[in-house]
Amino acid sequence: MALRLRLPDVFTKPLRLGRRVALYGALALVALVFVSLIVSSGHWLRARRVDLTADQLYTLSPGTLQIVDQLQRPLRLTLYFSEHATRDLPKLRSYEQRVRDMLQEIAARSHGRVQLQVVDPVPYSDDEASAEGAGLTPASGGSNGERVFFGLAGGVLPGGADAEAAEGAAPERTLAIPFFDPARDPFLEYDIAKLLYELNQTSKPHIGVISTLPVEGNPVLGQQPWVVMQQLAQLFDVKAIDPGQLKQVGADIRVLLLIHPKRLSADALYAIDQYVLRGGRLVVFVDPDAELDDTPADPATGALPDRSSDLPRLFAAWGVRYDAHQVVLDRSHALTIELGGNNIGHPAMLWLDNQSLNHDDVATASLQRIDLSTAGHFDLAANASARLIPLLQSGPDAEAVPVQRVLQASDNPSLLLQDYQPSNTRYVFAARLRGSFSSAFPERAKQPGHLAQSAPGDEVVLVADTDLLSDRLWVEPQTILGQIMMRPFANNGDFVGNLVDNLSGSSALLSIRGRSTSQRPFTRVEALRNVADQKFLQKEQELERELAETRQRLEELQPGKGGSHAGSIGTEQRHEIEQFRQRQLAINKELRDVQHQLNAEIDALGLRLKMINIVLVPALVALLGLLYGWRRIRRTRRRL
């Protein structure tokens, strides 16, 4: 039989006391180490984050990282957001957090080259004046009618010092994003990276223009440049290039605009060909009928003037199909014009709404309307290796007709609707052509510096209309305080500006694509709402019809309503009227019940989520903690 000895309490009490002291000391040491790790990790791991979102919304793309890493001068970014004015705008406040998180990610990646500050421009404050001075555009609709500022101002700080050292210095140059529109959420990273890229540039980008149309005006005749060219001149260094003397496009030309090319020499075409193969950015504007082309008619034959333009040799090398003698008609997008004192729809003059614009492309994402006139269309050849990404398209109710037919109906556009046969095809008016391009001049392979193939992923933008550049299709003069101002009624100028702005950036900027939106819909709630609608909509419609019939019957039974004939109604009619009134009240109550039932399941889902988040999860955590503590106590007692 085993012999057990029990020590007296006078010996066991000091042992228990010593173990408790050791346990408390160990807990204090663990707490100290834990706090130290938290503090040190907050300092040393500031730039280390984990992005668990579905589309990696908070992970910077390689293009943005390249732009941030190549910053040569310190920048200051100031995010203006009206906290008080947006307290009743939860969607905008949520988007502000998304913008702030991305800016903080950029600042953390910049290693001190980007200084970020967040300012609340309260009304009538210096911060509000600073926001307006930086170029921000406030929106209306805030709390108590306050204006809402939500934009970003970027400034270049004096060189030779980092951003922290230059905190109080005035910026040398500033640019701004006037307002962060949640509708541009997929392009948030692109917009911010573009701002950083432009701030890092020391001069305006150079763009070249080759045109056979008078886009630059005529100073001798007092003609001003077209408004679209005036806008480009504000943002870029615009250089007009004479196609007759063109042998090579300069390496400094970021973007080349080729407008209405006609009768270009082989040397000029070869220069454009090699510019594209070197990675140059080209925007081509061709037209089946350029209305501002002043080519005269042939008096000998009486034939109509040929005002078309084409690039057949280059288009064939790139795999592009374009017919310079076809015009697209679209009666569903016909522009209303005044002709002979009457307003008529012209199926060859089109206004494209946002359904015809590519909202997945940065150049057209925020546009609402583009006006065209006698436009052609593009397609890919069977052997094309490039991709055609539409920017502007017709509707399916369109057809392509010979340009001669359009010219003959110039005095009566309604003739174009005779024998109208829509092809159920969405014709492409403008597109990005992206891929690897071959030279259209293989016979010049022996010339020094000749390139036979471009790099993969190069890009050319094609537009099958030149009239969209003209003033009459998108601006109209307006006198303000004695000054003549051009008021835009379409986004033609924005379209051209966005294209040039996008193409003039670096390859890193062009590589940044749109992402999915950060606004995640409640799919389960939407599914419940659809089921509830199908379940109760029929009942609601039946009650609505019965209510309408009841009201009509009441009106028939009360011909003298409010008048002297009301007393002539008999007892039986008054009883019937009272019954209809009671039925009307009952129907109204049933309608309210049905409308309440429409949201009952959604409310139940919300209650379940609240119970899970507020009660169940904390209860499970507490239960696990108690269970763990009980097991520890039990294990300790067994050891003793």
| pTM, to two decimals | 0.69
Give 205 or 172, the one with higher predicted confidence.
Answer: 205
Give 14 or 72, the one with higher predicted confidence.
Answer: 72
- Whether the Cβ atoms of residue 500 and residue 380 lie closer than 8 Å to each other: no
Give the pLDDT score at 310: 96
The percent of residues in the chain predicted with pLDDT above 70, rounded, is 78
Give the pLDDT score at 563: 45
Who's near 236: CB < 8 A, 6+ residues apart?
204, 205, 206, 207, 254, 255, 500, 504
Fold of 62-200: Glutaredoxin (3.40.30)
Architecture per CATH, 206-292+306-323+375-395+426-510: 3-Layer(aba) Sandwich (3.40)
Give the pLDDT score at 623: 84
pLDDT-derived band at 591, boundaries 50, 70, 90 = low
The three state secondary structure string of 148-159 is: ECEEEEEEECCC
**Cα–Cα distance, 257 to 271 (Å, whole number):** 13
Distances (CA, A) of 501 to 238, 279, 298, 407, 448: 13, 16, 41, 35, 32
Give the pLDDT score at 508: 76
- 306 pLDDT more than 70: yes
Tell me the mean pLDDT in the region 402-409. 93
Give the pLDDT score at 565: 46
Mean pLDDT, the chain, whole residue set: 83
Residue 282 forms beta bridges with which residues? Answer: 256, 460
What confidence tens digit (pLDDT) does each residue in 321-363 have?
A: 999 999 999 999 999 988 877 888 999 999 999 899 998 898 8
Give 309 or 112, the one with higher predicted confidence.
Answer: 309
What confidence tens digit (pLDDT) does each residue in 415-454 have?
A: 999 989 999 999 999 999 999 999 999 999 999 999 999 9
H-type helices in 511-564, by residue range?
Answer: 523-557
What confidence tens digit (pLDDT) does each residue in 502-546 have?
A: 998 877 776 776 554 555 555 666 666 666 566 566 666 666 677
Give the pLDDT score at 184: 83
DSSP string, 274-302: HHHHTT-EEEEE--SS-TT--PPP-TTT-
Give the pLDDT score at 613: 75
Kindly list the domain boundaries of the chain, sorted by start residue. 62-200, 206-292+306-323+375-395+426-510, 524-555+589-609
For the chain, give me the number of helices (H) and strands (E)? Answer: 14, 20
List the one residue out of 350, 260, 259, 264 whose CA is nearest residue 306: 260
**Cα–Cα distance, 130 to 153 (Å, whole number):** 10
**Location of structure tokens 């919300």:** 606
Give 555 or 391, the one with higher predicted confidence.
Answer: 391
**Cα–Cα distance, 448 to 455 (Å, whole number):** 19
What confidence tens digit (pLDDT) does each residue in 72-91 have?
A: 889 999 999 999 899 888 88
Q: What are phi and psi of 212, to 5 degrees?
A: -100, 5
Lowest-confidence segment of 138-142, 281-285, 496-500, 614-618 by average pLDDT? 614-618
Report which DSSP code applies to 225: P
Give 176 or 46, the one with higher predicted confidence.
Answer: 176
- Whether the Cβ atoms of residue 244 and residue 263 lie closer than 8 Å to each other: no
SS3 321: strand
